[in-house]
Structure 1
Amino acid sequence: MQAHIMDSGLENWHDFEVESRREIVALLRSIGEKNQLIRMQVHGESEVCVTSILEIDAEGGMVILDRPVDTGQSRRMAAASGIAFETSLDKIRIMFSSNSLEECMHGGTPALKMAVPDTLIRLQRREYYRMNTPVSNPVRATIPMIGDDGAANNTPFPLADISCGGIAIMDNKLVLGDTIGKNYPGCRIDLPEIGIITVTLQIRNSLDMTLLNNKLNRRLGCQFVDLSRGTLAQVQRYITRLERERNARIAGLG
């Protein structure tokens, strides 16, 4: 990880380092297309300026940046041995760096250029970082329930998404009813290639949706209660695995 572009107080952030050239180019191109402003700072110095991506030359391996209005500032940036960049894309912080900036011309106006970075860091607050789980082969949460006959039974519910704070499940048969605020201890979630975790789930919200065939589907947001460090680490590993798979798909389509 590029430690020199990381600031303190990031314990509550989920980080993911992107190393695929195609993924990096696709992300930078999206930042440019959405005209996102980018914070640019010389390593170890307080001077900060704002830029944006004008063009991505994937074949030439270059990123063309808008030049700061202040000519002197632009020259100092170009002369620096290390520049840190930070921006955001769809509420996710994007951080990267460059060892060298050069002044250039773009469309007849002065600009700056740099090599496409080798790596890029994506950051998002852990509690808000949600990944959709597979639809075709759904992950399931098994919740212990007491039936009308008083007998205990384990009922499986497919996951819709997962975060370090909890999961969303689909109660397609509407068996959980009005359970907002209720805790369900001893729930088991089988995370593919990670293992089975046992958690206490608290139902936090409920959303009823009518499908195209007029069938009712209920989505329940569930919060993890007193998750252990070891179980949290397993959830984080699974989220990272899902993100790697998603980014690989994005790169394949890019």
Structure 2
Amino acid sequence: MNNQELENWHDYEVASRREIMALLRQIGEKHQLIRMLVKGEADVCVTTVLEVDPDTNTVVLDRSIDRSQNDRIVEAGKVRCETSLDKIRILFTAENLRPTLFEGNAALRADIPLTLIRLQRREYYRMETPVSNPVRAIIPLPIESGAGTAVFPLHDISCGGIAILDNKLQLGTTIGETIPNCRIELPEIGPVVVSLQLRNSLDMTLLNNKSNRRIGLQFVDISRGGMAGVQRYITKLERERNARLAGLA
């Protein structure tokens, strides 16, 4: 999970402080495990919520059993956290992490997040598509870009929609605009033709200083066959990812 992934889900953002504290309390009361991504998937700690303190606007989290990992967490200052509550996926960032004591034991204290993401539907979980063999989306261009169509690589896919990379900045960025007759070529599954509604766009600067734009698009009136194809492809990606992780374990 990364900044781009969180950006995809801005429609599921919770910004009410009272609601955020209530969710964190429930996570603690139900002893839900939280995956804390210190440096992405390469450095993960499993923690729990020990206390939510509205007076100091902080949340206390259990520390890692690995002392050096605790040092890395504090050094990072902020980390991504993901958990679930009643089958709802919860994502948030823990910031300003520092060592603290809770009931006499070492723990970690962080600021209560200003926002968190609550994904009510499991099928909206996004899978990143392979970089080595990019999935192609063939999308009609606006008239100001010369009309016709252009091919865009997918960044990720879910049963709710896709994110594409528009490195030539050919598409518009009007939120809510719907583009009909888009064709997504799913490897080993086949093409899915669907209308796509623009939900968000994010301009990024790559490591080589080139600019790129990631655009989040939601499926509109997708056919039952098209949705079945998307689900099969996501299952295929998940299976391949799990096989890779099992091979690395």
CA deviation vs aligned residue, 1:198-225 (integer Å, no higher than 9, x gap): 0000111010001122111000000000
Change (3 A) 1:243 1:230: same
Partner of 1:143: 139
Which amino acid is 2:138 matched to? T
What's 2:163 paired with? 168
**Alpha-carbon deviation of 1:154?**
1.6
Task: Report which of the two has the higher share of helix.
Answer: 2
1:176 partner letter: L
What corresponds to 2:192 in structure 1?
197
State the 1:176 CA deviation.
0.8
TM-score, length-scaled by structure 2:
0.52
Q: Indicate yes or no: 2:231 matched with 1:219.
A: no
Kindly report structure 1 stretches of 4+ aligned residues shifted beyond 3 Å: 89-95, 146-150
RMSD between superposed Cα atoms in Å: 3.0
1:192 CA drift (Å):
0.6
What whole-Å deviation, never above 9, does each CA across 1:132-163 have from its counterpart, x for those lacking one?
Answer: 0011110011002254486x412111000000
Q: Give the unaligned 5+ runs of structure 1.
A: 1-27, 38-88, 96-123
Structure 2 residue corresponding to 1:34, chosen from 38, 46, 66: 46
CA drift of 1:233 comes to: 0.9
Instruction: Structure 2: give runs of 5+ residues left out of the alignment.
Output: 1-32, 37-44, 50-80, 88-119
Superposed, 1:1-254 pairs within 5 Å as 34-35=46-47, 90-91=82-83, 125-148=121-144, 152-254=147-249
Residue 182 (structure 1) shift? 1.1
Residue 230 of structure 1 deviates from its aligned partner by: 1.5
Whichever of the two has the greater Rg, that structure is 1
Match of 1:119 in 2: none
How far apart, CA to CA, are the structure 2 residues paired with 1:193 and 1:92? 32
Tell me by how many angstroms 1:167 deviates: 0.2
- Greater relative contact order structure (CA < 8 Å, 6+ sep): 1
Q: Deviations over 1:98-125 (max 9, x none)?
A: xxxxxxxxxxxxxxxxxxxxxxxxxx83
State whether residues 126 and 164 of structure 1, in contact with CA within 8 Å, keep that contact through their aligned partners in structure 2.
no
Q: Does the aligned pair in 2 maintain the 1:126–1:165 contact within 8 Å? A: no
1:128, CA displacement in angstroms? 2.6
CA distance in structure 2 between the partners assigned to 1:174 and 1:149 by the alignment = 9
How has the CA–CA distance of structure 1 residues 149 and 94 changed in structure 2, closer, same or farther, with 3 Å as cutoff?
Answer: closer
Secondary structure at the counterpart of residue 91 of structure 1? strand
Alignment-mate amino acid for residue 132 of structure 2 = S
Preserved CA contact (<8 Å) 2:145 2:171: no
Fraction of identical pairs, as percent: 66
**Residue number in structure 1 paired with 2:21:** none
Match in the other structure for 1:99: none
The structure-2 alpha-carbon separation of the partners of 1:218 and 1:146, relative to structure 1 and needing over 3 Å to count, comes to: closer
Amino acid at match of 1:143: I
**Helix, strand or coil: the match of 2:168?**
coil
Distance 1:36 1:251 in 2: 25
The answer as to whether partners of 2:173 and 2:200 remain within 8 angstroms in 1 is no
Structure 2 vs 1, CA of residues 218 and 225 (structure 1 numbering), >3 Å: closer, same or farther? same
Letter in 2 for 1:91: T
